Structure 1
Amino acid sequence: MKAIHGIQMIGTQRSGSNLLRVIMDQSPDIASPHPAHILVNFIPLLHLYGPLTSQENYAQLVSDIVDYVNANPVPWEGVLFDKQQIIDQSNSNSLFEINRLIYEQAVIRKAGTLWCCKSMNNVYFSNQLEEHGSIKKYIYLYRDGRDVAASFKKAIVGEKHIYFLAKQWKQDQEECLKLKKTVPADRFFSLNYENLIADPERSIKQLCEFLNIEFTSNMLQYYTSDTSRITAASGEMWKNLEKPIMNNNTGKFLRSFEVDDLEIFELVAGDVLTELGYPLYSSSRNAQLVSVDKIEHYKNENIRLKKQSLVDAKENDLKKRKPQEQIIAEIKERVMA
């Protein structure tokens, strides 16, 4: 059997990560399924299971995670999980081991050698991932944070007020850049979204070289694949995956930002924008825009906007997310009962 290794994509959502995921998934070497966000969702729940040294507790965790992945809004095509097999193959009783074995099932089905996890917030668990040893290489995908914010404003997930969008984006990039300093250069690849869409062939060839795999032309024909079709049909956020790369998909914030949005974002995250090579556009620096009183107002507005985004969301988007939400609710209720 070929040796199998893990890749972790890091950064912030709405940065072209699903585009990159489906491009990579066209390679015969890589399985890159839509993320179920196993670590992000189950680390906060681990205390409910008790010590995982107990086989009964560990078996329950494995069972819940398999059910959760099976309920993913975008299904893992053709991947069938055997709960007992995961338990038997575990080298240790840990959430990180379950995460590894879940993803390995996807690449084993494909007879490839690499699996890629697109749960970008896993950068916050990089110490545990390094200790576990399941990630061979990291891909840091980054995009102009102001365009990321403009995209999140229209999405069903994430923060909604510009202050909190800027704060989250800044924090994510700083965490990624910190990791970059701690792992060897041959394990860390930085990919700029704007470069990716401007010259996709060059960018993907460089990525393939980093991963030691062969570039294939069908990687850039991703939009004709079943993976893209199924993902696009699963939510409004992913509808563009059935289209070729949009080379001009940049600078949208210049047209969509509202009053003070640009200045607030650059006050909060201007230093990181500059570090990543993005120009600043705001000519003034009104610190009052991020005063304590203003932030309290932004907090309330953020809550209101999040609620409104759910009201405005398409019924199909909400329906696709219900099964996983129900599983998490049942886990909490089961322990409390």
Structure 2
Amino acid sequence: MCSSSIKNTSPIFIFGSARSGTSLLSRIINSHPRISVPFESHLYDTFYPWLKYYGDLNLSKNRERLVDDILSIECMRDWSPRPDRECVLAEISQNNFAGIVDGLIRSWSISQGKKRWGEKTPAHAFFWREILSDFPKCKIIHIVRDGRDSSLSLKNARFGPKHYYHLAKAWVKYLKVIEALKSEVSRDSFYEVRYEDLLSNTDHKSREICDFIEEDFSEEMLSFYTNRNPYPTDKDNLRNLAKPIISSNSNKWKSSMSPRDLRIFESVAGPYLEAYGYETVMSHPNISSIEEVLIKYFEHPPKKILSMIKNRKGHIDGLRRLAIYTRLVITQ
């Protein structure tokens, strides 16, 4: 059922590098009776760079074309329930990209009986300036996890780097973006939580989050695992999200990373581990120039290629996006 009776309130954007606990955090917040957080949207990292191809969004035909393209990409097919085109168009209150983002996610929130929306796409951190320009009153929550644990998880995912050298580089790159964001926003707009602290003190951290987003705390947030709506993440992540908080789900790197893996990771990311309060174990770790060449050109490529071959979902998504982009360029 479409409705316009719910007032818009400041949106919540959840940032965190891949495998840092963004899914867990989004599920906790989504369990609040007033807030919905759908699956990843990839609106900014996919469509923001293409906006020039859609023309003047004051024209309804251009807005509709953009909405239709958004609804056709793979991640939109993962939302449950699928967004309703007519409801999305009805909820667009501004004839610009921000209005379309708001209309899409707000219409989905209304279908859930919620009054406020959140958004969780890790890649959107790289578009924080655009997001703040579009939603100057938004609340940003950043979750950070020990980079060795997040990299251990990401290494086994269908996407992302497959060598600890590149995993460490990616983790540091993400945190540099977050540091730039933190330097530009006020405390009222930005909240940071460590994944490990969320695991060990979920009740307290959930209450802090509610204070930050100016909502009353709800005990329902602690029962996030009872939500049986489909959530299209990998099997391991989905299995964990279907359980109460697993307080021991940290420091896995201590038993799973080899001394060489640790040396490589800490040589790249050691200062950032320490800056976020994580212990380092290697004394003056380093990578020689020869080893760096071996990693870049011999060790990592075969692993990455094999992962790409297996990533069927990524292939489908990539082809859908390529088709959209090709059509936009040709018809420009």
Determine the C-alpha separation between the residues in 2 that align with 1:83 and 1:113: 15
After TM superposition, give the deviation of residue 216 of structure 1 in Å.
Answer: 1.9
8 Å CA contact 1:6–1:114 kept in 2: the answer is yes
How many residues are aligned here?
323
1:305 is matched with which residue: 298, 303, 306?
A: 303
8 Å CA contact 1:156–1:310 kept in 2: the answer is yes
Corresponding letter in the other structure for 2:89: Q
Partner residue in 2 for 1:139: 141
Corresponding letter in the other structure for 1:176: I
After TM superposition, give the deviation of residue 97 of structure 1 in Å.
Answer: 3.2
Matches within 5 A, 1:1-337: 1-47=6-52, 49=53, 51-52=55-56, 55=59, 56-68=61-73, 71-72=76-77, 74-77=78-81, 79-82=83-86, 85=89, 89-94=92-97, 96-133=98-135, 136-227=138-229, 230-231=230-231, 235-288=235-288, 291=289, 293-300=290-297, 301-311=299-309, 318-319=312-313, 323-335=316-328
Corresponding letter in the other structure for 1:250: S
After TM superposition, give the deviation of residue 181 of structure 1 in Å.
Answer: 2.2
Determine the C-alpha separation between the residues in 1 that align with 2:293 and 2:87: 46
Return closer, same or farther for 1:334/1:190 CA change in 2, 3 Å cut-off.
same
- TM-score using structure 2 length: 0.87
After TM superposition, give the deviation of residue 306 of structure 1 in Å.
Answer: 2.0
After TM superposition, give the deviation of residue 134 of structure 1 in Å.
Answer: 5.6
Corresponding letter in the other structure for 2:144: Y
For structure 2, which runs of at least 5 residues remain unmatched after alignment? 1-5
After TM superposition, give the deviation of residue 120 of structure 1 in Å.
Answer: 2.1
After TM superposition, give the deviation of residue 248 of structure 1 in Å.
Answer: 0.7
Determine the C-alpha separation between the residues in 2 that align with 1:270 and 1:185: 26
Return closer, same or farther for 1:124/1:198 CA change in 2, 3 Å cut-off.
same
Corresponding letter in the other structure for 2:164: I
Percentage of identical aligned residues: 28
Determine the C-alpha separation between the residues in 1 that align with 2:83 and 2:232: 19
Determine the C-alpha separation between the residues in 2 that align with 1:117 and 1:54: 25
Determine the C-alpha separation between the residues in 2 that align with 1:169 and 1:93: 32
8 Å CA contact 2:74–2:316 kept in 1: the answer is no
Corresponding letter in the other structure for 1:231: Y
After TM superposition, give the deviation of residue 242 of structure 1 in Å.
Answer: 1.1
Deviations 1:282-306 (A, max 9, x none): 1242341xx2x43343233333212
Determine the C-alpha separation between the residues in 2 that align with 1:158 and 1:253: 18
After TM superposition, give the deviation of residue 59 of structure 1 in Å.
Answer: 3.2
Deviations 1:115-142 (A, max 9, x none): 1111122122111112222651100100
Determine the C-alpha separation between the residues in 2 that align with 1:232 and 1:59: 27
After TM superposition, give the deviation of residue 151 of structure 1 in Å.
Answer: 0.6
Corresponding letter in the other structure for 1:19: L
8 Å CA contact 2:33–2:220 kept in 1: the answer is no
- TM-score using structure 1 length: 0.86
**49-58 or 14-23, which deviates more:** 49-58
